[in-house]
A and B are shown apart, each in its own frame.
Chain A
Amino acid sequence: MKTAYTNARIIDPANGFDDVGTLIVDGNLIEACGSSLSPDTADEIIDCNGKVLCPGFIDMRAHAVDPDAALAGGITTIILQPDQTTIIDTDAVVERIRHRSVDSQIVSVYPMGAATQGMRGEQIAEIGQMQESGAVAFTDCTKAVDDAQVMRRLLEYAGHFDALVVQFAENPELAAGAVAHEGETATRMGLAGVPAAAEAIQIERDARLAKLTNSRVHFALVSSREGVEAVREAKSKGIKVSCSTAPHYLHLNDNALEGYRTFAKVRPPLRGEDDRLALIEGLADGTIDTLVSDHCPKSADVKRLPFAQAAYGVVGFETMLALALAPVHTGKLELSALIKALTVNPAKLLGLPTGNLSPGSFADFVIFDLNKPWRIDADKLISSAKNTPFDTLPVQGQVLKTVADGVRVFERS
């Protein structure tokens, strides 16, 4: 069975393609993609009416699977963080998650393994065996590997397997007890803050260790100007560093905490306006490699608490594209740069076969309306929890169809 998706604006950064054209899918594989293809051989022809068609998004940081929400957000590959009920720090757990993904999930799930056993930062986890079982990277999630000696050995050891180490860029001592960005807002509200320097200090140290060990290191969520500059500096020296950020850091600054809104409590914290603008610049110029949702469903029970006690995290799958398109619509970010950060960049970092529309690849792609205006409604989210700080926010751009493994698994009615 062949399906042709015609009249689409196809953006495939992996092959440097951005033009109106046709994509032909044969079964679960892409057969061809181009501007002058004839759809005549196809059994089914779908007219995309000039909407954008690009590879399915790869979300490099999610704390829960939530498959329906992911597909509604155009995400076809989820990289699950190791901070699950059972910490993912052995090959057995990795294998179980991969099996469940292959057997029952439409969306592909790849776990990140813990970088150290029990994410305690003391002893290196079984990176080799977890990698064999399907773990794509190694991280202690929301804990930075603090001990410089452990980090050095981790980078050396992981380097041997060419495994990506993902570091949470926040110096733990400077961040102790902090729940917000150290600045005017936290001072006025009486909240303990962590300075942006805590991020840059961690990045600078680990960039030096990456240089020393000649290995790769990726920084999970960069949130500040100082952090972006530290990554830019390391890259300019040829050190193998990369980093991610999340849409909420592009969209909000610490003013969002006003009134002790715990739905805006995230880690690292939302920072100042200058930091927010620096992140958009960093994404536009390629300093920031990937955009992740940091999807973290939390029930109201653990969110409706005094600020310091409330859980961290926001749900991100369904709002990721629309939020990330905001700087595109204001002309601060190229659409192709955004798609790159959502597709080919994470695929390359993690060594995944997806994130492109090359002939012979798995047919994982998304069709979205670049301009469709809509309003985020927390009650209408299909995520397992509704903890979004973006309720009632008007946004532009909406996923219309998500195709995974050749099957149209999500279609907006």
Chain B
Amino acid sequence: MSTHSTEQSSYPRADVDPPSGQLFPYKHLLGIWGLDPTAIKHLLDTADGYVEQNRQAKKSTAICNGLTQINLFFENSTRTLMSFEIAGKRLGLDTISMSTGTSSIKKGETMLDTAATLNAMHPDVLVMRHGDSGAVKLLSEKMDCAVINAGDGRSEHPTQALLDALTIRRRKGSIHGQTIVISGDVAHSRVARSNIYLLNAMGARVRLVAPPTLLPCDVDRLGVEVFHRMEDGLEGADVVMMLRLQNERMQGAFLPSLREYYRFWGLTREKLTVAKDDVLVMHPGPMNRGVEIASDVADDLDRSAIEEQVEMGVAVRMACIDVLTKDLRSGDAS
């Protein structure tokens, strides 16, 4: 039974010693789907160590000195891109970021050509975000180096799910056994998908709360309980994860108005009364205050973990880079 310093109880499925001895036997991190609990726990444990390091004055360790990290963002992002860049720099990698808005690159050919060009420059880590589901997987097939998915379409955003899990584990002592509510635009959310897979793999009880128009078809078959009313879904919840309502979904066929959305699905202090007293409120950011979350809930220091999530983000991304380049570094040493 191995538990980490911030973990209060062990989750047996994640404490298996794999026969290969490899705790993370994958070349890329393309998604949470397909990762086993042991690998997820290994990433979280590694990240836990970096949390302490990031709180010290001297934050860098040059364990990845000489390696090159390219951040390739085909979709606008500030926080994820910065988080990856800081994570790389703190490990001593040379990081280069290239951000192209969705408008400038429309053709997929350009994406694969860019990949071939980048590959010729021999990076060691490629972090990529793209607006199309499956795009990062497609690109990884053309790359020799480790590829980290920083979000692809509506498919996956694995580092976000890992940082959410780390936040929960540090605050609650474990992930398994927790009742975790994910609320908001599940249909268009990669964050929701990665979180559902990760939390299920780690033994949590996952509930979704959203209006029917924002829930994808057959979502209940992903191993979640589905609710449409906040009052029902929040009953006895340990953690509430709110999702950002994307601007383009706010008008049109999905919802009648923001006012009405806030009335029924906005997270307010009143709606939270049915959750557990020590309920943890999370949001992947950036928040729409007064739309999916009330300001007083977001700013409640006792319950809100929103800033902590950003802090965990750097640690988790350092852990991913560390774990994925481990073989490369040991290869250099021998």
Task: From known contacts A259-B137, A305-B138, A306-B133, infer whether A190 and B112 are also in contact, taking CB-CB under 8 Å.
Answer: no
- Mark interface residues in B108-122 (1 if CB within 8 Å of A CB, else 0): 110110000000000
Does A306 lie within 8 Å of B134, measured CB to CB? yes
Partner of A187, one of B134, B152, B190, B218: B218
A412 on the interface (CB 8 Å rule)?
no
Give the dominant DSSP class at A's interface.
loop
A182 neighbours in B (Cβ, 8 Å) = 216-217
Does A195 lie within 8 Å of B217, measured CB to CB? yes
Does A189 lie within 8 Å of B218, measured CB to CB? no
Does A304 lie within 8 Å of B153, measured CB to CB? no
Does A307 lie within 8 Å of B134, measured CB to CB? yes
B33 neighbours in A (Cβ, 8 Å) = 188
B132 neighbours in A (Cβ, 8 Å) = 306-309
In Å, the complex CA distance between A308 and B154 comes to 11
- Chain B residues with a Cβ closer than 8 Å to the other chain, count: 26
B133 neighbours in A (Cβ, 8 Å) = 189-191, 260, 306-308
Q: Restricting to A194-240, which residues have a CB under 8 Å from any CB of B?
A: 195
In Å, the complex CA distance between A193 and B153 comes to 14
Partner of B193, one of A184, A190, A192, A305: A190
Partner of B112, one of A183, A260, A304, A307: A304
Task: From known contacts A188-B222, A190-B190, infer whether A306 and B135 are also in contact, taking CB-CB under 8 Å.
Answer: yes
B156 on the interface (CB 8 Å rule)?
yes
Q: How far is the CB of A57 from chain B (nearest CB, A)?
A: 35
A188 neighbours in B (Cβ, 8 Å) = 33, 193, 222
Does B221 lie within 8 Å of A189, measured CB to CB? no
B244 on the interface (CB 8 Å rule)?
no
A186 on the interface (CB 8 Å rule)?
yes
A309 neighbours in B (Cβ, 8 Å) = 107-108, 132
A301 on the interface (CB 8 Å rule)?
yes
B219 on the interface (CB 8 Å rule)?
yes
Task: From known contacts A306-B135, A308-B132, infer whether A190 and B154 are also in contact, taking CB-CB under 8 Å.
Answer: yes
Partner of A260, one of B137, B190, B219, B221: B137
B155 on the interface (CB 8 Å rule)?
yes
Q: Restricting to B109-159, which residues have a CB under 8 Å from any CB of A?
A: 109, 111-112, 130, 132-135, 137-138, 152-156
Nearest A residue to B112, CB-CB:
A304
B112 neighbours in A (Cβ, 8 Å) = 304-305
Q: Restricting to A132-148, which residues have a CB under 8 Å from any CB of B?
A: none
Q: Restricting to B181-234, which residues have a CB under 8 Å from any CB of A?
A: 190, 193, 216-219, 221-222
B190 neighbours in A (Cβ, 8 Å) = 190
Does A190 lie within 8 Å of B218, measured CB to CB? no
Does B137 lie within 8 Å of A190, measured CB to CB? no
A193 neighbours in B (Cβ, 8 Å) = 216-217
In Å, the complex CA distance between A187 and B137 comes to 17
A259 neighbours in B (Cβ, 8 Å) = 137
Which among A184, A188, A191 has the greatest number of chain B C-beta atoms within 10 A?
A: A188
In Å, the complex CA distance between A260 and B154 comes to 13
B130 neighbours in A (Cβ, 8 Å) = 306
Nearest B residue to A182, CB-CB:
B217
B108 neighbours in A (Cβ, 8 Å) = 305-306, 309-310
In Å, the complex CA distance between A304 and B217 comes to 27
Nearest B residue to A261, CB-CB:
B134
In Å, the complex CA distance between A187 and B190 comes to 11
Does B155 lie within 8 Å of A183, measured CB to CB? no
Does B153 lie within 8 Å of A308, measured CB to CB? yes
A192 neighbours in B (Cβ, 8 Å) = 154
In Å, the complex CA distance between A220 and B152 comes to 34
Partner of A184, one of B107, B154, B221: B221
Does B155 lie within 8 Å of A189, measured CB to CB? yes
Nearest A residue to B194, CB-CB:
A190
Nearest A residue to B156, CB-CB:
A190
Does B138 lie within 8 Å of A306, measured CB to CB? yes
B138 neighbours in A (Cβ, 8 Å) = 260, 304-306
Does B217 lie within 8 Å of A187, measured CB to CB? yes
Nearest A residue to B139, CB-CB:
A306
Q: How far is the CB of B108 from chain A (nearest CB, A)?
A: 4
Q: Restricting to A150-207, which residues have a CB under 8 Å from any CB of B?
A: 182-184, 186-193, 195
Does A189 lie within 8 Å of B134, measured CB to CB? yes
A310 neighbours in B (Cβ, 8 Å) = 108
Does B153 lie within 8 Å of A184, measured CB to CB? no
In Å, the complex CA distance between A304 and B132 comes to 13
In Å, the complex CA distance between A182 and B187 comes to 12
In Å, the complex CA distance between A184 and B219 comes to 7
Q: How far is the CB of B131 from chain A (nearest CB, A)?
A: 8
Which among A183, A301, A305 has the greatest number of chain B C-beta atoms within 10 A?
A: A305
In Å, the complex CA distance between A306 and B133 comes to 7
Task: From known contacts A260-B138, A306-B133, infer whether A186 and B217 are also in contact, taking CB-CB under 8 Å.
Answer: yes
Does A260 lie within 8 Å of B134, measured CB to CB? yes
Q: A188-B193, A191-B133, A308-B133 are in contact. List 14 more A-B contacts (CB 8 A).
A: A182-B216, A187-B216, A187-B219, A187-B221, A187-B222, A188-B33, A188-B222, A190-B152, A190-B155, A193-B216, A260-B138, A306-B108, A307-B133, A309-B107
Leading 7 A-B pairs by shortest Cβ distance: A260-B134, A190-B154, A190-B155, A306-B132, A305-B108, A306-B135, A190-B133
Q: Would you mind naming 17 contact pairs between A and B with Cβ atoms under 8 Å apart?
A: A184-B218, A184-B221, A187-B217, A187-B221, A187-B222, A188-B193, A190-B134, A191-B133, A259-B137, A260-B133, A260-B138, A305-B108, A305-B112, A305-B138, A306-B130, A306-B132, A307-B134
Interface residues of B (CB under 8 A from A): 33, 107-109, 111-112, 130, 132-135, 137-138, 152-156, 190, 193, 216-219, 221-222
